[in-house]
Structure 1
Amino acid sequence: MNQANTDDNVVIVDENDIELGIISRQQAHRQGLLHRTAATYLTRPNGQILIQERISSHLDHSSAGHVDPGEDYLQAAKRELKEELGVECELIELGKTISNEIGVGDNHNRIRHIFKIFECQAEPGELAKDEVRSVFWADPLAIYKEMKNDPEHHKFCSGFKVSLQFYLKKKGLL
């Protein structure tokens, strides 16, 4: 997600993911309007997931980003995966979940996303230096336990907390 560009447009949706209109991402975040995001977990056969350290130093999904108008979740997931991690792979859809995140700083109130979660087995390629500081492999349950000690979102991106819990439930680990 390129957080620096707040003029990007997003599709706002209702709780059933029905399109309601198009507005700026910044406006959607300030007004707490539900909009679409695609998140992908890169996995290894041993169950580890790739964790991304954002430029902000927060830990996040392997890759994630807003779904642009005219784009579907799968297209957005593939685009973000290629942009952020230099990866192209066959994505498996795991499902959707809704996130009601509390924004940080003066620019956001309540940020509401419908996440569609994907996974694929792949190794990271070239990282987007303007968005990604580093990546590392980790046990998802260990990361989830660590998240419980971060209620203020100092270490982990808030949307990551929601999607990881969904991911772990889908995998039968929670």
Structure 2
Amino acid sequence: MDVDHEAKSSVGGCFLISSLYTKCVQANSHVSMYNRRMPDEQVDIVNEQDEVLYSTSKQEAHKKGLLHRTVIAEVINSDGNWLLVKQSSNKQDAGQYVSPIGGHVQAGESTSEAIKREAFEELGISRFTFKLKGKCIYNRTVSGRKENHYFIIYEIRSDEKPILNEESESFKKFSPKELKTALRKSPEIFGDAFFPVIECCYPDLLKL
């Protein structure tokens, strides 16, 4: 599982969540709701209890370091292998492996709607099951932006072949053993934001 396929920061408390898988079945076609987002995309500003305070632009949220929601998903196939993507050269974690799905929750959008949208936008997948794994607060300053994100973390189960968008240059599948070894021996190959997700929801991967 070691072949590429073409196609640290501040972390808040973690809240583990156990829930049943939800089945997602959507038409496998690109429609307007899945088009790339506008630069003035609106997001909900939340407090540390994930309660909505008000809405503003994503640009303003990053400029002022306001806490807002982001959905993250780890994708695991029926063999138990993890799918990670290598970020494109123009992204903040260029050349590093990151969670294959991650994006802002739009103002008024539910997190389950957001994870379906992001899964289609970033991997082209639409037939999968998913469950909520946990939540944590993650912040860092990158490229002059103050990223202050309320991570809402999902696990997706899917065997669909990914179709990458421009944000990723390749993907790689890791067995749990391979991922655990890489996290210990070669942590530099992973983007910073991958670690709080693992610490929050998959801590066994970090144990010796």
TM-score range, shorter chain: 0.7 to 0.9
CA distance, structure 2, for counterparts of residue 127 and residue 161 of structure 1 = 24
- From 17, 21, 24, the counterpart of 2:57: 24
Which residue number corresponds to residue 138 of structure 2?
99
Q: What is the CA-CA distance between 1:119 and the residue it aligns to?
A: 1.0
What are structure 2's unaligned runs of at least 5 residues?
1-34, 90-94
Once the two structures are superposed, what CA deviation does each residue of 1:15-44 show, in whole Å capped at 9, x if it has no partner?
Answer: 000001111112111211110011111113
Q: How many residues align?
A: 163
Is the Cα–Cα contact under 8 Å of residues 125 and 163 in structure 2 kept in the other structure? no
| CA–CA separation in structure 2 for the residues paired with 1:3 and 1:143 | 32
Matched residue SS, 2:142? coil
**1:68 maps to which residue?**
106
**Equivalent residue for 2:181?**
142
Which protein, 1 or 2, shows the higher relative CO under an 8 Å CA cutoff with sep ≥ 6? Answer: 2
Let me know the Cα RMSD of the aligned residues: 2.5
Q: Report deviation, 1:113.
A: 1.0
Does structure 1 retain, via aligned residues, the 8 Å contact 2:85–2:171? yes
1:25–1:142 Cα change, 3 Å: farther
Q: Please say if 1:162 is aligned against 2:196.
A: yes
Residues 1:75 and 1:142: Cα distance change in structure 2 (over 3 Å) = farther
* C-alpha spacing 1:157/1:145, structure 2 compared with 1 (3 Å): same
User: 2:72·2:115 contact (CA, 8 Å) conserved in 1?
Assistant: yes
Q: Deviations over 1:143-174 (max 9, x none)?
A: 432564x4xxxx543322211222212xx444
Please state whether the residue corresponding to 1:103 is helix, strand or coil.
strand
Q: Structure 1, unaligned stretches of length 5 or more?
A: none
- Structure 1 segments (4+ residues) deviating >6 Å: none
Q: Do the aligned partners of 1:144 and 1:164 also contact (CA within 8 Å) in 2?
A: no
Identity %: 29
TM-score, normalization by structure 1: 0.81
Q: Sort the Cα spacing of 1:84 and 1:73 in 2 relative to 1 into closer, same or farther, 3 A.
A: same
Q: Do 1:42 and 1:123's aligned partners in 2 also have CA atoms closer than 8 Å?
A: no
Match of 2:167 among 131, 145, 152: 131
Q: Are the counterparts in 2 of residues 91 and 120 from structure 1 also a CA contact under 8 Å?
A: yes
Larger Rg: 2
Counterpart Cα distance in 1 of 2:75 and 2:158: 6
Aligned to 1:114: 150
**Alpha-carbon separation, structure 2, partners of 1:123 and 1:6:** 32
